[in-house]
Amino acid sequence: MTPGEIRLLDLTVCHERRPAVHHLSGSFAPGSLTAVVGPNGAGKSTLLRALAGLHRPQSGRIEDGGARLALLPQQAAIDRSFPVSCLDMVLMGLWAETGAFRAAPRDARARAETALGAVGLAGFEARPIGKLSAGQFQRVLFARLLLQDAPVILLDEPFNALDARTTADLLGVVRRWHGEGRTVIAVLHDLDLVARDFPETLLLARECLGWGPTDQVLTAANRLRARMMAEAWAEDAAVCDTRAAA
């Protein structure tokens, strides 16, 4: 397969044995910039975790050719009370390169400082992450992604609750990645931003309601269908067990 391509083959991913992503097939093209949108509970974050190898599929499979992936999780999933400096947080991006027992590269600090400068946080190296605003902390997480230097980047709600300036600055980083030919997949809620800045969109409501050029996916009919499907979801639905059908 082409480097940077990700294929989903009849993928079903469950949460507590109930389908969060149901029989999804398609592919993210190498170097594509794709927004994943849909109502709350549509399986968007679950899909990203499955792509990152953090959530095991119930059935089907993901093919990524062994590409390195970097995941930006939602801020709420990160404990900021731990006493870590901005510099050390960014240096964690080298974990895949160094592992638990190998020494960090000699230029690691310089690379981390450069990454912080690239997201507008020059001089913040010693600042504890617990002292940062939400926007500043998101910049730190983007700097960590810069250090990871992965060909595939997964972003889970990267602009949620950020001010306009921070959003614009971090969108610039996303455009840079796209310009470098990296594959970028982002879970987003702001459909105006998606329509303006993301050429490809996957509309997910546990099932795929559209996947392709954004202007062809975010139609009024598709958005209405997604909303109606979300309203019809039953929390006590039967579990999804492929073994029972075998």
- For the record, the structure tokens of 164 come out as 């306009």
Highest mean pLDDT (candidates 27-36, 72-81, 232-241) = 27-36
Over residues 122-149, mean pLDDT: 95
Q: Do 196 and 183 form a contact (C-beta atoms < 8 A)?
A: no
Give the whole-angstrom CA distance, residue 112 versus residue 47: 29
Q: Which of 73-77, 110-114, 160-164, 169-173 has the lowest mean pLDDT?
A: 73-77
Q: Is the pLDDT of residue 52 over 80?
A: yes
pLDDT at 102: 56
DSSP tag of 238? P
At 94 the pLDDT is 87
Per the structure block, which two tokens stand in for 37? 């949108």
Is the separation of the CB atoms in 84 and 128 below 8 Å? yes
98-121 residue pLDDT tens = 554 455 677 899 999 999 999 999
Give yes or no for a contact between 14 and 27, defined as CB atoms under 8 angstroms apart: no
What are the structure tokens assigned to 181, written together? 């030919």
Report which of residues 83 and 61 the model is more confident about: 61
137-141, 191-195, 216-220, 230-234, range with the lowest pLDDT: 230-234
Beta strands 18-28 and 207-213 are unpaired
- Both tokens of 187, joined, read 């879970």
pLDDT at 96: 62
Tens-digit pLDDT profile for residues 138-160 = 999 999 999 999 999 999 999 99
pLDDT exceeds cutoff 50 at 242: no
Q: What is the pLDDT of residue 241?
A: 55
| Residue 235 predicted with pLDDT over 70 | no
Q: Over the chain, what is the mean pLDDT? A: 89
So what CATH class is 1-68+161-246? alpha beta
Contact 70, 145 (CB under 8 A): yes
- 210 Cα distance to chain centroid: 19
Lowest mean pLDDT segment, chosen from 2-6, 139-143, 213-217: 2-6
- pLDDT of res. 121: 97
CATH 3.40.50.300 region(s) of the chain? 1-68+161-246
Whether the predicted pLDDT of 1 surpasses 80: no
Does residue 219 surpass a pLDDT of 90?
Answer: yes
pTM of the model: 0.90
Task: Give the pLDDT score at 79.
Answer: 81
Going by the DSSP 8-state scheme, the letter that residue 78 receives in this structure is S
Whether pLDDT at 97 is above 50: yes
Residue tagged 């902390």 (tokens): 137
Helix ranges, the chain (H): 44-51, 86-91, 95-98, 108-118, 134-148, 164-179, 191-197, 214-217, 220-232, 242-245
pLDDT of residue 103: 57
